[in-house]
Structure 1
Amino acid sequence: MVANVALRLRMAERRMTKAELAREVNAEVKILTGKLGTVSERTVHNWLAGQTRWPPAKSRLALTAVFDCTPEELGFVPTRRTRSTTEEDVMRRDFIAAAGGTAVAALTSTVAAGPRRIGITDIRQLQTRFAEVVASDHRHGGRLSIESRAGQLADEALALQESGIATQRIRAQLYATAASFMSSAMWAAIDGRRFEAALQHHQKAASLAAMSGDSSIQFRIWSHAGSLYRHLGRPGDALAANDVARNLPIARRDPLFASLGHARHAAIHGLTGDTNAVRRSLGHAQEALDRADPSASRPLWITAFYDQAELDSLALAGYLSAGSWEEAEAHAHRSTALRRGAMQRASAITTARLAHAQLRQGALEPAVATAMSVPAEVSTHPRVTGMLTAFGIKLTDRAAGSGPARTWAEYSHETWRIST
């Protein structure tokens, strides 16, 4: 039995634990089959120890999506029956279609050998790949595979800079697109609680955006930076970063950008406990959103997620952090009612926060019922897991031994395996 050194090195490069790899693989199997995978930490241990030399087809395809390389490159050794079965070929086709795995291959094919003229067709191909990354993030969010894919596509965009001749306008758009990919890698890292990686992505994204001269992508990157520092519990840095975004020309020119800047400012103010500042920023956000022209041409990344539901979600975050439980609950209900159906992760985060707001008001049974309504398949998302874990701890602190506490302890153990 020979240890799988290649897989261990891949995991080490991404600072990935056995539990994290198991969650990633199970989530990718869910995309492939419609059912969450059954890979456990013990399964990963067997892979690393060499006890399992060639995992089942579903696991191999999922591992390929997570690491963007073949099972053989991950150190696995095919059995004597190396040819794929018809079932595996069908799964691979369906999986690639679901996960957008053709992105890198399609983009790479545009880089011809030798100098050539880079034009608007290349930019449009990149923008199509960016749309796929945004859609994948909205469906799944926080995954290492999204972060890795976005970073790789940024490198592909930069490779075009060196592969041929282009006008200054096209080169600026190439930098803007590369910055867009890096901002998605940054957000995936933030969403997955990989904050050190997010900080590194921010440095590269900000540099690329500055070279592009595109204030809309600069806004996204600095607005993300504000969210990053908010999650790190550094409100001073968060406010400063978000101010960079709010002072960009795009925020002065387009009320939708201004509204998002104010709404994220409100969420940051919640960390300081300044309810008046939260309310004031939300008032500015609502006023700007009401003025925004819904028919105006805007980048995909902002139109795909920012609307009244997201404003209310940020209001919920701000009031919850500030300790205004009733106002937090009101915005949670409004956000849930308006949320677009495809935003499952965002809906789960809102629901988890609603459970916290209800618990803080002493409504134990409604709070537990709300927490239990989070779909099990979404609860593996790092942010949702953290919120539900914190909910269980607070519930135990407040009402240990009560009926609702026992109900939650049993349910969480059986469904999410959360230690409360």
Structure 2
Amino acid sequence: MDTTRNAVLEAWMAEHGYSSNSLADAVNRALEQVTGRCGGLDGSSVRDWKAGRVTWPKSATRAALEAISGLPSIALGFRPRGRTMSTAMSVQREDFDMKRRILVGGIAATAAAAAVPGPASPHRIGMNDVERLLQRFTEVIASDHRHGGRPDIERRSAALANEALQLQNVGGASQRVRASLYASAAAFRSSSMWAAIDGRRYEDARTHMREAQALAEMSGDQAIKFRIWSHAGTMYRHMGRPADAFAANDVARNLHLARRDPLFASLGLARQGAIHGSAHDRAGTLRALEQAQEAMLRSDPGDHRPVWMLAFYDQAELHSLALSAHISLGDYPTAEYHAHRCLTALRPHMARSRAITTTRLAHAQLAQGDPDAATATAMTVPTDAATQHARVARMLQEFGTTLRATGPRHIIQTWVQHTAGWRASA
């Protein structure tokens, strides 16, 4: 067996910034765009190619490599068994264009077409440009966790999505960079979608959702697909449409990523539990939340995950979703338990989540006949969240309505005076 190292492939990978694992992931995504099933390659598969242990991968794998690199397999250093170099080159030239057209049809063709630079463009777009966008995405995520669904976050994220797309036309780039730019644009657009959901601007959210979904398909990035469809499930839950919420969340949960990574599985199950709660399905709620906890315990904190996932999903968020579910079920003691656990575990930057959880805790306490504790809890919600965050403001209005209908006069007066101070300082 010929085990001469494939120095050509190694040089191409080094030039384009691929590790064995990242190239395997890219090939798997390219295969999924055609077959609907993620490929089964891993870093060891690529190392076999580089070491010369595999000199001629399977035809579908070669087609995926060719779509990613824009080069025939022969030009990447692969050699078919039993053929001379001249014969191999002839065969490769004959079928390369055909296989590439098949592989990059549909959505992948859109990304491939965008990857062809204009003849007069001197600039080359690289992963450094993508990293700069990622830093700005991190800033958007941080702003969201501080302030929630404000229109300015929605507008800024949409503008950054357009900026990422405009880079496609600036100059030449590899297929990997093109896909990363589409993923960045989808990520920004999904943040616009979430800001609109959080601000109860659902028509705007649906517009952002459609754009984000198209961009995510062109990127082939499963993590951003998960985020978009999972957000869609949350949107429909807030809109009181549990059937649509289940359908959207199931799309996220059935992605290969969610089956492979227990943390993504846990988030999908936790949101499923919240949807079951909104549908008043107690058994479904308890089952989904229990499975979400088990999946979280199986997850490896050392695994590489996108910044948006690392920034918010942890034990505190799982308690937050359980809190929402149990309030919907009318199980207020259990809801209060999860609220306290959530508040204890919340990281300092999660200001929006703290305001939402505190407001829900006040609702749970009031529903259990403790207006004094409930009012004291509600009064700790910061003024900016109480007056500028649409979800928090609405929940506090509902709290006040219930308090005025059921609470003692002196507690009602205390609450009225406090909320007047909120309005005066807004």
| Distance (Å, rounded) in 2 between the aligned partners of 1:206 and 1:389 | 34
* Cross-structure match for 2:196: 189
Contact 2:269 2:289 in 1 (8 A): yes
Contact 1:379 1:416 in 2 (8 A): no
Aligned counterpart in structure 1 of residue 344 of structure 2, from 322, 326, 337: 337
Structure 1 residue 417, shift from structure 2 partner: 6.3
| Distance (Å, rounded) in 2 between the aligned partners of 1:412 and 1:119 | 52
Give the number of aligned pairs: 305
| Distance (Å, rounded) in 2 between the aligned partners of 1:396 and 1:137 | 32
| Distance (Å, rounded) in 2 between the aligned partners of 1:173 and 1:344 | 30
Aligned counterpart in structure 1 of residue 332 of structure 2, from 319, 325, 330: 325
Amino acid corresponding to residue 135 of structure 1 in structure 2: A
| Distance (Å, rounded) in 1 between the aligned partners of 2:333 and 2:393 | 24
Amino acid corresponding to residue 175 of structure 1 in structure 2: Y
Structure 1 residue 393, shift from structure 2 partner: 0.7
* Cross-structure match for 2:404: 396
State which structure, 1 or 2, has the greater radius of gyration over its C-alpha atoms. 2
Quote the sequence identity (%).
57
| Distance (Å, rounded) in 1 between the aligned partners of 2:384 and 2:193 | 24
Q: TM-score, normalised by structure 2?
A: 0.70
Structure 1 residue 162, shift from structure 2 partner: 1.6
* Cross-structure match for 1:124: 131
* Cross-structure match for 2:282: 275
1:143 paired to 2:129: no
* Cross-structure match for 1:369: 376
| Residue-by-residue CA offset, 1:312-356 (whole Å, 9 max, x unaligned) | 000000110111111100000000011111111110100000000
Structure 1 residue 406, shift from structure 2 partner: 2.3
Q: TM-score, normalised by structure 1?
A: 0.71
Contact 2:121 2:172 in 1 (8 A): no
Using the TM superposition, name which of 343-352 and 369-378 deviates more.
369-378
| Distance (Å, rounded) in 1 between the aligned partners of 2:194 and 2:122 | 34
Structure 1 residue 366, shift from structure 2 partner: 0.8
Alignment of 1:294-305 (within 5 A): 294-305=301-312
| Residue-by-residue CA offset, 1:55-91 (whole Å, 9 max, x unaligned) | xxxxxxxxxxxxxxxxxxxxxxxxxxxxxxxxxxxxx
* Cross-structure match for 2:262: 255
- Any gaps of 5 or more consecutive residues in structure 1? 1-112
Contact 1:275 1:324 in 2 (8 A): no
| Residue-by-residue CA offset, 1:164-196 (whole Å, 9 max, x unaligned) | 112212111111110000001111111111111
Paired residue secondary structure (2:125): coil
* Cross-structure match for 1:382: 390
Paired residue secondary structure (1:116): coil
Structure 1 residue 378, shift from structure 2 partner: 2.4
Structure 1 residue 132, shift from structure 2 partner: 1.1
Using the TM superposition, name which of 313-322 and 138-147 deviates more.
138-147
1:155 paired to 2:162: yes
| Residue-by-residue CA offset, 1:272-321 (whole Å, 9 max, x unaligned) | 11111111110011001111111111100000001000100000001101
Structure 1 residue 114, shift from structure 2 partner: 3.5
Structure 1 residue 251, shift from structure 2 partner: 0.5
Paired residue secondary structure (1:136): helix
| Distance (Å, rounded) in 2 between the aligned partners of 1:147 and 1:415 | 25
Structure 1 residue 377, shift from structure 2 partner: 2.8
Amino acid corresponding to residue 130 of structure 2 in structure 1: I
| Distance (Å, rounded) in 2 between the aligned partners of 1:349 and 1:311 | 14
* Cross-structure match for 1:201: 208
Alignment of 1:301-320 (within 5 A): 301-320=308-327
Misfit runs of 4+, over 3 Å: none
| Distance (Å, rounded) in 1 between the aligned partners of 2:144 and 2:128 | 25
Paired residue secondary structure (1:281): helix
Contact 2:355 2:392 in 1 (8 A): yes
* Cross-structure match for 1:227: 234
| Distance (Å, rounded) in 1 between the aligned partners of 2:189 and 2:153 | 11
| Distance (Å, rounded) in 2 between the aligned partners of 1:139 and 1:414 | 22
| Distance (Å, rounded) in 2 between the aligned partners of 1:214 and 1:314 | 26
Contact 1:263 1:315 in 2 (8 A): yes
Paired residue secondary structure (2:312): coil
Amino acid corresponding to residue 151 of structure 1 in structure 2: A
| Residue-by-residue CA offset, 1:358-397 (whole Å, 9 max, x unaligned) | 1111111111111111122321211111110010011122
1:215 paired to 2:235: no
| Residue-by-residue CA offset, 1:20-72 (whole Å, 9 max, x unaligned) | xxxxxxxxxxxxxxxxxxxxxxxxxxxxxxxxxxxxxxxxxxxxxxxxxxxxx
| Distance (Å, rounded) in 2 between the aligned partners of 1:320 and 1:163 | 51
Structure 1 residue 115, shift from structure 2 partner: 4.6
Structure 1 residue 116, shift from structure 2 partner: 2.2
| Residue-by-residue CA offset, 1:131-156 (whole Å, 9 max, x unaligned) | 11111111112111111111011111
| Distance (Å, rounded) in 1 between the aligned partners of 2:422 and 2:209 | 35
* Cross-structure match for 1:88: none
- Any gaps of 5 or more consecutive residues in structure 2? 1-119
Cα distance change of structure 1 residues 165 and 241 upon mapping to structure 2, 3 Å threshold? same
Amino acid corresponding to residue 277 of structure 1 in structure 2: G
Using the TM superposition, name which of 118-127 and 406-415 deviates more.
406-415
Amino acid corresponding to residue 152 of structure 2 in structure 1: S
Alignment of 1:21-170 (within 5 A): 114-170=121-177
